[in-house]
Chains A and B, each alone.
Chain A
Amino acid sequence: MLKFQRTKLVNIINNNDGTLAVHGTLDDHIYQIEIDMVIGIDDHAIRAIDGKWIRAENSECRRAIPFLKNAIGIKIDSDDFTQHVNKHVGRKACPHFANLIIECSNAAEDAVDMLKFEAAGKDQPELTFEEYLAGNAPVVPKDKPEARVSVQPDRPEKQATKEKKILVGLNGFCVDLHIHTFPASQCSSSSVDEMLQEAGRIGLDAVCITDHNYVWKTADIHTLSEKHGILVFNGNEITTDQGDMLVFGMHKDVQGIIKLKELKQLVDDANGFIIAAHPFRGFLIFNTNEIGLTVEKAMQRPALKQVNALEILNGKVTERENVFAGKVAAGLGMPATGGSDAHDVAGVGKYATCFDVKIGNEEELVEALKSGNYTPCKFRDNIATKAQVAKNGILEI
């Protein structure tokens, strides 16, 4: 018996006015939607869109319809088309409408190719469709040029007032081991300067910049440390076939997807350290335990033998997912870390890792990580301001 089935249908008509009329339907066990789009043949732009729900998961799904117009103007052949639709339609309206828009647009691209081939065939009757496609293949650069971030050494004009760090129940040298900065990580919305200013403001002892598949220059890391008056360490979040890994002490620029065992070899050769980032991040509507993944079964995951520690406090997963990761780490006797995974200023320091030694540089960080003498902790919520101390009489440490 089928557990689930989804069907998508796309039909396209040439309006003979330079546009295509595209009709799409998505029908599955949960959702049933339809869209109609008008797409320009020459400019590849979505000129108009309309959509409707026939079956939805809840009564508020209808709110998505007005936001479908966010797709208007997007060019279906642009490099970032899918990202753009997922961001401006998927998140604002509905990811299932975004899915159908992408399907319809991919079909429309094929349709445009076929129509242009027909037109070309009038002058070149011997031309085959395969030859036409090969001759008109877009030049897609295999490697995207690296978006190197330029670091300005000048101190910012206005320094944020440093809140006096008053730890309530936290001891040790506290480091946010996991933050992302824009533009090195395209998914972040705050610059490295903004993130580090905030890290200093809330009183973190140090912070690790772990941008996605991006290696910061050592000189830039030192400049940032001096500029912001906070220790900054170089890290990297690398995507492997077994998920994302935080890497410290290994500075090879890894692009694309690498097998975890190959990454482990590189890190071991560099005497570095690998932490499995958010290892049990689940799904939006259901959790891993709802599909029968127990702590005991999770402990058997072969990938866990290839990493040095598990991130059990991550600011972007649910409490349940963090607790689950904590139980797995405890069951395996593995070291456990905390990091905010902050993608904006407000997230910096949500979680951190508190070491029992002061750390002065990256080598000492790796040594401290290997020692296992640290505790993941909730940091940001544990910082009291001077005003709160005055009000609540919390002792200053």
Chain B
Amino acid sequence: MANLLCYSRNRAASVEQIDETTLAATCRLQDSLTDAEVTLRIRLPELEIIDAKGTFTRFSRDECSGIERALEKVVGVRIGAGMKKIIRGLVGEITDCNEVAGLVEECCHAVILAFTKDMLGLVPEELAKEKEFFAKMVKENIRLYNSCAAFAPGSPIVEGIDPP
């Protein structure tokens, strides 16, 4: 008997530098029920959302049609601490379509990861120096301590670092 999929999902997020002070972040979702895309324009260095556009071309819930008003609410929001709560709260005022906030969040998360990637490009190849690099990172930002298994007590990276 053929082992067929009963459901499939593909979500892609990308970040492009448009010019010196502008990024474009896009999230596309295609799955068995939904086809949607959101694009944000983000101003540097504030990471402020200056434009938000999107569309659902296929959807199974009526509340996911006409999302423009919901997307307008996130203009002016800065990508940073607490952004998920702010995005969900603002979008949730206009629509019950949960996926809209999800697409915006994925765009914002991709922007953060784009800058994270730039920092991680500096990690040395040698293991001992890699450990030093991350240990210094944890010392400088103690919020990293115990934020995941790699930075949890017992990991060589945080050996000798006092917990906050």
Asked if A290 and B115 sit within 8 Å, CB to CB, the answer is yes
Interface of B is mostly: mixed
- Inter-chain CA distance A257–B113, complex, in Å, is 25
User: Is residue A13 contacting chain B, with contact meaning CB distance below 8 A?
Assistant: yes
Q: Residue on B with the closest CB to A244?
A: B82
Asked if A114 and B112 sit within 8 Å, CB to CB, the answer is no
User: Is residue A281 contacting chain B, with contact meaning CB distance below 8 A?
Assistant: yes
Q: Which residues of B contact A4 (CB under 8 A)?
A: 14-15, 110-111, 113-114, 117
Chain B positions 144 through 155: 1 when the CB is less than 8 Å from some CB of chain A, otherwise 0: 101111111011
User: Is residue A90 contacting chain B, with contact meaning CB distance below 8 A?
Assistant: yes
User: Is residue A157 contacting chain B, with contact meaning CB distance below 8 A?
Assistant: no
Asked if B45 and A93 sit within 8 Å, CB to CB, the answer is no
Stretch at the interface among A60-68, A169-177, A228-236, A352-360: A60-68
Q: Residue on B with the closest CB to A288?
A: B45
Between A and B, how many residue pairs show CB distances below 8 Å?
211
User: Is residue A368 contacting chain B, with contact meaning CB distance below 8 A?
Assistant: no
CB within 8 Å of A: which of B93-113? 93, 102, 106, 109-113
Asked if B150 and A63 sit within 8 Å, CB to CB, the answer is yes
Asked if A286 and B31 sit within 8 Å, CB to CB, the answer is no
Asked if A239 and B147 sit within 8 Å, CB to CB, the answer is no
CB within 8 Å of B: which of A255-271? 256-257
CB within 8 Å of B: which of A119-143? 129-130, 133-134
Min CB distance A295 to B, Å, is 12
User: Is residue A390 contacting chain B, with contact meaning CB distance below 8 A?
Assistant: no
Stretch at the interface among A103-111, A191-199, A329-337: A103-111
Q: Which residues of B contact A60 (CB under 8 A)?
A: 134, 149-151, 155-157
Asked if A7 and B12 sit within 8 Å, CB to CB, the answer is yes
CB within 8 Å of A: which of B7-29? 7-17, 23
Chain A interface residue count, CB cutoff 8 Å, equals: 72
Q: Which residues of A contact B146 (CB under 8 A)?
A: 91
Task: Tell me which of A2, A278, A291 has the highest count of chain B C-beta atoms within 10 A of its own C-beta.
Answer: A291
- Inter-chain CA distance A4–B47, complex, in Å, is 16
Provided the pairs A12-B6, A30-B120, A239-B82 are in contact, do residues A301 and B77 lie with their beta carbons within 8 angstroms? no
Asked if A297 and B16 sit within 8 Å, CB to CB, the answer is no
Q: Residue on A with the closest CB to B102?
A: A106
From B13, B92, B149, contact of A5 by CB (8 A) = B13
User: Is residue A28 contacting chain B, with contact meaning CB distance below 8 A?
Assistant: yes
Chain B positions 52 through 74: 1 when the CB is less than 8 Å from some CB of chain A, otherwise 0: 00000000111000000000000
Asked if A283 and B80 sit within 8 Å, CB to CB, the answer is yes
User: Is residue A29 contacting chain B, with contact meaning CB distance below 8 A?
Assistant: yes
User: Is residue A241 contacting chain B, with contact meaning CB distance below 8 A?
Assistant: yes
Q: Footprint of A on B, CB under 8 Å?
A: 3-17, 23, 31-33, 44-47, 60-62, 76-78, 80-82, 85-86, 89-90, 92-93, 102, 106, 109-120, 123, 127, 130, 134, 137, 140-144, 146-152, 154-157
Q: Footprint of B on A, CB under 8 Å?
A: 1-14, 20, 28-30, 57-61, 63-64, 67, 90-95, 99, 103, 106-108, 110-111, 114-115, 129-130, 133-134, 239-244, 256-257, 278, 281-286, 288, 290-294, 297, 301, 316-318, 320
